[in-house]
Structures are given as C-alpha cells and as structure tokens.
C-alpha cells in the first residue's frame, strides 16, 4: 500500500504542479478566459488514463494464464523503463520546470484554444498513463485486493491538496529535494516490480529458470504474515526468488540508485544553471552596449559626417594637386 501511495503522490504531485503553474501563469498574464481549455485538456487526460487502466484490467481477464503472465511481465519492464526515465528527467528539470512550461504556454497562446487543450493534455496525460500502468502492475504484483488501489488514490488526493496549497502560496516545496528523495524510493520500488515482471515471464515460459531458486526463507518470513505482506506491498519482496529475479533486481537497483543519488546529475544541473546565467549576463551586457549605442545616436551621425567630410576634403585636395 505504501509503494502505491508513493507512486500516486509522486506522479500526482507532478501533474498538480504542472496544472498550478499553467493556471498561475494565465492568471498573472490576464488570460483568465483561457482557463477553460486548460481544464478541458486536464479532464481528457484523466479520462484517457482511467480508460487505459480499465482496459488493462478488464482486457487481461479474458486472456489465458500464460498470456496474462506474459502481458504483465512485459508491461512491468515497460513501466519500470518509463518510471526510471521520469525520475531522472524530473530531477534534472525540476529547477527549470516553470520556465519550460511558460515557454510552451506562450506558444500555445499564440496558436489558439486547441493548442492550449493539447498542452494541458500532454503535460498531465503523460503522468496519468505512467500512474495507471505502474499502479496496475503494482496492484497485481502485491496481490492484496484493493488495498494497493486505496493507497494510490490516497497518494493522488494528497498530491492534489498539496498542489492547491502550493498554488495558494500556503506551502513552499523544495522541488529538487522532494523529487530526489521520492525518486530514490521509487527506484527501489521499481526494482521490485522489475523482478516480479521477470517472474511473470518465467511463469509464461518466455524465460527459463523458474525452479532455480536463489533462496527460500518462506518459513522465516511467511508471505501471509503481516510483515511479509508489508514487505511485499512496499518493495514487492518475495521470500523465494529465482536466481534470474535476484540477478536482474541487483543489476537494476545498484547502478541505477548509485547514478541517481550521485552528485553527477546535480552537477550537470548546476552547470546548466551556470551556463544559463552566463548566457543571460552576456545577453544583458550586449543589450546594455546596444542601448549605449542607441543612446549615442546623436554622436554617431556626427562622427559619420566628420569622416565623410574628411574623405571629401581629401578628394578635393588630391584634385587640386593634380
């Protein structure tokens, strides 16, 4: 339940912040009449995301057991790939998210209502589709009834409330730290989903080694115990993983988490900030120089006249000498 709460909170807050930034920008620029297309785009994104999740749930029920396992395992890998890309992308762009959205919104305003709807749809729809896919896989991996779904809904509701408080100015969020910590926890959750997806593919006989267990501590941590359920619901822990599951889990978790938590990504972000500031300073310096030149418009023509007069005088002097 906690892992799904984290997914709902993380993805939901991203979508909430995007919507808040779009709305705040339109309000501040005097474009309140353009708010309706934004809400239309958000509504379409929500409906599409819910429809996608429902299609996965009810469509998979008509399949055979092996087909279900094959679909579930394949979508696990896809969802882990999307979430991994998302956490790295969000950490890198959290500082510049507002400026990036403002640029897109300016372009959409120039293009009309349809572009505004598309901007909101794409911005929120991406988060919605990722949430639907990841939560669907986490729910099936946890195999704990509706509890994982409740956790995801609570996370989304919490994210909406936080987004509203953020918009009202009642809450200040250090986005860089928030997305770093939640991203790190989400990488751990994704590693468990990936391992469970490999198990699904083994049960579908797409991969071998189903009977080759790395260890079996089911007697120590029974899957039906409260702590076994907690570990499974939080980290997709399995007391009897196969060797392939454990290998894939370690090969994903260790390098991905190390790369995500390393200062390299942050250093790049800082370098990007420094380059942006340097470019802005150079631009402002050039603007100041241009302003100075424009301020001296009266002197420039005089200088030109002096040089022209000198050239004419030289020409006449040469003519006289001839």
Tens digits of residue pLDDT in 209-259? 888 989 888 888 887 777 777 677 667 778 888 999 999 999 999 999 998
Hey, CA dihedral for 209, 215, 221, 227, is it positive or negative?
Answer: negative
Q: Verify that 256 and 295 share a domain, yes or no.
A: no
pLDDT band at 124 (very low <50, low <70, confident <90, very high): confident
Give the model's pLDDT for residue 84.
87
Residue 165 reports pLDDT greater than 80: yes
Q: Is residue 192 part of a domain?
A: yes
Please tell me which residue, 148 or 237, carries the higher pLDDT value. Answer: 237
Angle at which helix 113-142 crosses helix 175-203, to 10 degrees, equals 50
**86-95 CB burial, b ≥16 within 10 A, e <16:** bbbebbbebe
Q: What is the pLDDT of residue 243?
A: 94
**296 and 175, same domain (yes or no):** no
Are 312 and 248 found together in one domain? no
Q: Residue written as tokens 């420094």?
A: 274
Q: What pLDDT is attached to residue 297?
A: 44
Same domain, 188 and 300: no
In a domain, 271, yes or no: no
pLDDT at 253: 93
Based on the domain organization, do 290 and 254 belong to the same domain?
Answer: no
Give a yes or no: residue 49 inside a domain: yes
Full domain range(s) for residue 312 = 286-317
Shared domain check, 49 and 144: yes
pLDDT of residue 144: 56
Based on the fold, state whether residues 176 and 76 are members of the same structural domain: yes
Q: How far is CA 305 from CA 58, 301, 318, 319, in A?
A: 83, 6, 20, 21
> Does 168 lie in the same domain as 130?
yes
Residues 210 and 109 in one domain: yes
Q: Is residue 279 part of a domain?
A: no
Query: Would you say residue 226 lies in a domain?
Result: no
Instruction: List C-alpha distances in Å: 284 to 49, 158, 289.
Output: 44, 42, 9
Q: State whether 159 and 299 are in the same domain.
A: no
Shared domain check, 187 and 74: yes
- DSSP H helix total and E strand total for the chain: 11, 0
Q: Phi and psi of 242, rounded to 5°?
A: -80, 165
% the chain with pLDDT above 70: 71
Count of domains for the chain: 2
Residue 176 within a domain: yes
What are the pLDDT digits (tens) for 182-204?
A: 788 888 888 888 888 898 899 88
Q: Based on the domain organization, do 176 and 291 belong to the same domain?
A: no
Distance between CA atoms of residues 140 and 234, nearest Å: 13
Output the pLDDT for position 147: 64
- Is the overall model pTM greater than 0.75, yes or no? no
pLDDT of residue 256: 93
Does the residue 276 lie in any domain?
no
- Are 24 and 200 in contact by the 8 Å Cβ rule? The answer is no
Angle between helix 263-295 and helix 65-93 axes, rounded to 10 deg: 40
Residue 140 clears pLDDT 80, i.e. is over it: no
233 within domain boundaries: no
């Amino acid at each position: 339940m906690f892992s799904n709460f984290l997914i709902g909170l993380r993805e939901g807050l991203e979508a909430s912040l995007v919507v808040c930034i779009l709305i705040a920008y339109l309000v501040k620029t005097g474009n309140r009449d353009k708010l309706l297309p934004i809400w239309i785009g958000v509504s379409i994104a929500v409906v599409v995301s819910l429809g996608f999740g429902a299609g996965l749930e009810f469509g998979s029920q008509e399949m055979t057991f092996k087909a279900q396992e094959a679909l579930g395992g394949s979508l696990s890998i896809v969802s882990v790939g999307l979430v991994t890309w998302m956490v790295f992308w969000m950490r890198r762009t959290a500082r510049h998210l507002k400026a990036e959205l403002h640029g897109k919104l300016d372009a959409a305003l120039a293009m009309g209502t349809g572009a505004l709807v598309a901007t909101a749809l794409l911005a929120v729809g991406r988060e919605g589709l990722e949430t639907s896919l990841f939560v669907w896989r986490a729910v099936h991996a946890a195999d704990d009834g509706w509890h994982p779904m409740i956790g995801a809904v609570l996370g989304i509701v919490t994210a909406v409330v936080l987004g509203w408080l953020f918009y009202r100015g009642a809450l200040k969020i250090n986005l860089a730290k928030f997305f770093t910590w939640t991203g790190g926890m989400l990488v751990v959750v994704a590693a468990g989903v990936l391992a469970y997806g490999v198990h699904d593919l083994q049960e579908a006989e797409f991969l071998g080694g189903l009977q080759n267990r790395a260890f079996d501590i089911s007697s120590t941590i029974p899957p039906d115990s409260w702590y076994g359920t907690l570990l499974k619901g939080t980290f997709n822990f399995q007391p009897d993983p196969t060797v392939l599951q454990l290998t894939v889990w370690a090969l994903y978790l260790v390098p991905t988490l190390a790369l995500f938590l390393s200062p390299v990504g942050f250093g790049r972000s800082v370098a990007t900030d420094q380059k942006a500031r340097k470019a802005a300073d150079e631009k402002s310096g050039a603007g100041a120089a241009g302003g100075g030149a424009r301020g001296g418009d009266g002197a420039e023509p005089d200088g030109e006249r002096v040089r022209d007069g000198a050239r004419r005088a030289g020409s006449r002097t040469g003519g006289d000498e001839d």
